[in-house]
Amino acid sequence: MTLAAHVARRLPPRLTAAAAGLVYPRFEPELGRLGDLCPPDCGTAVDVGGWYGPWTRRLAARARQVVTVEPVPHLARVLTAAAPANVRVIQAAASDRTGTARLWLPPGDDGERGVSSLVRRNIHAHAVQVPLITLDGLGLRDVGFVKIDVDGSEPAVLRGAHGVLVRDRPALFIELESRIQPITPIVDLLAGLGYAGWVLPGRTWLPLDPATLEAHQARVSYVASHGLFRRILPFRTLWGPRYVNSVLFLPDGRRPGALPVREHGRHAPRPEAPR
């Protein structure tokens, strides 16, 4: 278990959630560029894989309504207790079907590490039974933004959101890691719906090249094994370059906004660009 996970288990849940919201933009600088991702007139934003809620709370300040889907029971309770009034938390895993499934977790981990998944990997040791939902089945309207962080279940989440994607054309922010599954099939699936990908390796959004991203991830994959604390420290280059693993997908020829980095994101060291 990482140091951050050990600390999270010993702090009051509300304090852990507040700390996660404070430091997370150093770990994922795109969160400091929320104006580039989530439209200013966003009606509904969806956070699939809420963890302790760093994205949920920021989205709540920008969208009229936030729907957060979190399968780990105790994390869903933490989110519900600490969420702003315009947030609806659903304790379930998003997929392409309803019913139940096993959610896999690492040994000694109850969800604190944020790497639980419906797809079992070699890091997983035990499972809990969780309900399954589809985004199409939630009756959502005016969806402007969807963030997906589900460690391998992305295709199923997207298939279960097909109706929302076709109808509302939301921006999508998806964690993609070639060490978990190939990136190209997801890129191709979304390309068929008129979406193109963008990455933020430095301070400028660049069009996604799946081969370049996969090469970058293979070259600096060791960084992914570092805990949250090591990856948010100042002078991060002492610990290794930034590991880029999130892609913004925009439909119909849209491009990311050109707003400057805001909030805590401006303090993040400039990461290495994929070569």
List pLDDT tens digits, range 93-103: 999 999 999 99
Which strands, in side-by-side order, build the sheet including 246-251? 87-90, 65-69, 44-48, 143-148, 171-175, 246-251, 195-199, 206-207
Kindly compute the dihedral angle of the four CA atoms of residues 92, 72, 228, 144, in this order, to the nearest 10 degrees: 20
Q: What is the pLDDT of residues 149-188, one digit of tens each?
A: 998 899 999 999 999 999 999 999 999 999 899 999 999 9
pLDDT at 70 > cutoff 50: yes
Q: Mean pLDDT lowest for which of 3-12, 32-41, 75-84, 102-111?
A: 3-12
* Residue of 4, 51, 42 whose CA lies nearest to 232: 4
Q: Kindly list the distances between the CA atom of residue 5 and the CA atoms of 19, 232, 247, in Å, as whole numbers in the listed order.
A: 12, 14, 25
Using CA atoms, how far apart are residues 49 and 66, in angstroms rounded to an integer?
A: 13
Quote the pLDDT of residue 90.
98
Task: Extract the tokens encoding 134.
Answer: 């589809």
The torsion angles phi and psi of 128, rounded to 5 degrees, stand at -125, 150
- DSSP of 58-105, one letter per residue? HHHTTSSEEEEE--SHHHHHHHHHH--TTEEEE-SEE-SS-EEEEEEE
Using CA atoms, how far apart are residues 274 and 246, in angstroms rounded to an integer?
A: 13
Quote the pLDDT of residue 264.
31
What is the mean predicted confidence (pLDDT) over 249-264?
68
The helix (run of H) or strand (run of E) holding residue 251 is: strand 246-251
Confidence of residue 242 (pLDDT cuts 50, 70, 90): confident
Number of C-beta neighbours around residue 196 at 10 A = 18
Quote the pLDDT of residue 241.
73
Using CA atoms, how far apart are residues 132 and 129, in angstroms rounded to an integer?
A: 10
pLDDT at 235 > cutoff 80: no
Quote the pLDDT of residue 187.
97
Residue 122 carries which side chain, given as an amino acid letter?
Answer: N
Number of C-beta neighbours around residue 152 at 10 A = 17
Give the rounded distance of the alpha carbon of 227 from its chain centre. 16
Fill in the DSSP letter of residue 274.
Answer: P
Fill in the DSSP letter of residue 122.
Answer: T
Radius of gyration of the chain (CA): 17
CATH number of 3-267: 3.40.50.150
Using CA atoms, how far apart are residues 227 and 268, in angstroms rounded to an integer?
A: 17
pLDDT at 254 > cutoff 50: yes
pLDDT at 79 > cutoff 70: yes
Ranges of each domain in the chain: 3-267
pTM, full prediction: 0.81
Tell me what the pLDDT averaged over the chain comes to: 83
Question: Terminal CA-to-CA distance of the chain, rounded, Å?
Answer: 31
In the block, residue with structure tokens 């933020």: 200
